[in-house]
Structure 1
Amino acid sequence: MTRVLILGANGEISKAAINSFLENTSYTLRLFLRDANRLPDYASDRIRVREGDATNYEDVYNAMDDVDIVLASLSGDLDKEAVTIVKAMQEKRVKRLIFVTSLGIYNEVPGKFGEWVEQHTREYAPVYKKAADIIENSGLDYTIFRPAWLTDTNEIDYEITQKDEAFKGTEVSRKSVAAVAVNIAKNPALHLKENIGINKPNTDFDKPRWK
């Protein structure tokens, strides 16, 4: 039985991933977050919940027991969280990591939308880039996600770009990002040691349509 640890389990991408894992796999889910009271009632015997702080090594280390795959969809001090996650995974000998960052951390978004992204991510982009660097140099079997601007659209529709390619599109649904994570969990060799942009095709606008 595959066991997936989801760090930042109350985040919107995480909640979409939880639903997708429950619907499309038989995997056991370990949900990690600061306050378990914030979680919906998933009414599933495949879920275990642990409270903790993703910057606290002991909390993360203890959450890694009997885990096969880690999905980290966090925010805030992402570089500190990356250090903690890498150290705990190395100590527990857990190898497969899916780590969510942000588009724009490499100035890879072209055109008017790139200018818009730079304006709206400049406060946290350096921290997210540092976190991505930590993951890439960790020796873990990672995949780094750089999703486009996120929507709650009920669809799975996406395309992938690599780190050395110009980013495409302006938006993508959280459900699509979750689908990529579930596909990787099913096939851990998929996007192995890749740093990928995720966007909805044919959304090449100057900014997200609702902004």
Structure 2
Amino acid sequence: MKKVLILGASGSIATLVTRNLLDDTRVQLTLLVRHPDRLATDIRNDSRVTVVVADVVKDAAQLTAAMQGQDLVYANLYGANLKQQAQAVVTAMTAAQLDRIIWISANGIYNEIPGKYGQWNAQMLGSTLTAYAAGAKVIETSRLQYTIVRPAWFSDKPVVSYELTQKGQAFKGTEVSRESVAAYLTSLILDDSQAIHQSVGISEPNTDGAKPSFY
């Protein structure tokens, strides 16, 4: 049985990943959330799901306890205090002797987006982009075996189509479907030997432009 701890598990991408993982009977999930009522009923009631109600920053003991016996952490966190959240996660993983983490960030944290879209993205995200960058830096400078994933803007297209870029390369595209990001994350979790110590951009091919098509 592969044991996976998902932080921020009630988010839209995390929900899709959870459903994908539950399709594999070899996976057991622990979902850490602040608001369990936001989890779908079928997910909460699944026999292979354990729900932990905690705040990543405020509930250090519960976070560390939730990490005991896990194989990896998938963190889908958000907020102005992402740096503090990342520090709390690194501390808890160190205490639990857990190494592997998949950390969701955002496109633009390295000023890696060229042209008008880069300017638009920075303007739209503002201080949120700064928070994502600070959180990612904590993860990158830790001892953890990390993969950072930097998605473009999310669309609701019912398709799985994506391309990847690495840190140091110019980011491609402006948007990506939630289904695509979930599919890539699922593949990383099921085969967690991929992309270790990499920061990966993900977008839909042929979506270059000044901004996403839905803006």
CA 202–195 in structure 1, closer or farther in 2 if over 3 Å, else same: same
Q: Which residue of structure 1 lines up, in the alignment, with residue 122 of structure 2?
A: 118
Q: Report deviation, 1:25.
A: 5.3
Asked if 1:93 corresponds to 2:85, the answer is no
CA contact (8 A) 1:79 1:134 kept: yes
User: SS of the counterpart of 2:23?
Assistant: helix
Structure 1 unaligned residues grouped into runs of 5+: none
User: SS of the counterpart of 1:124?
Assistant: helix
Asked if 1:177 corresponds to 2:181, the answer is yes
Tell me the alpha carbon deviations over residues 107-126 of structure 1, each in whole angstroms, 9 at most, x when there is no partner.
Answer: 11111111110101121212
* Regions of 4+ moved over 3 Å: none
Q: How does 1:89-168 map to 2 (within 5 A)?
A: 89-168=93-172
- Of residues 191, 196, 202, the one that matches 1:198 is 202
Q: Which residue of structure 1 lines up, in the alignment, with residue 7 of structure 2?
A: 7
CA RMSD in angstroms, aligned pairs only: 1.1
User: SS of the counterpart of 1:106?
Assistant: coil
Q: Output the TM-score relative to the length of structure 1.
A: 0.96
2-structure distance, mates of 1:173, 1:115: 22
User: SS of the counterpart of 1:127?
Assistant: helix
CA contact (8 A) 1:104 1:121 kept: no
Structure 2 unaligned residues grouped into runs of 5+: none
Q: Report deviation, 1:12.
A: 0.9
Q: Output the TM-score relative to the length of structure 2.
A: 0.95
CA 99–49 in structure 1, closer or farther in 2 if over 3 Å, else same: same
Asked if 1:71 corresponds to 2:74, the answer is yes
Q: Which residue of structure 2 lines up, in the alignment, with residue 36 of structure 1?
A: 36
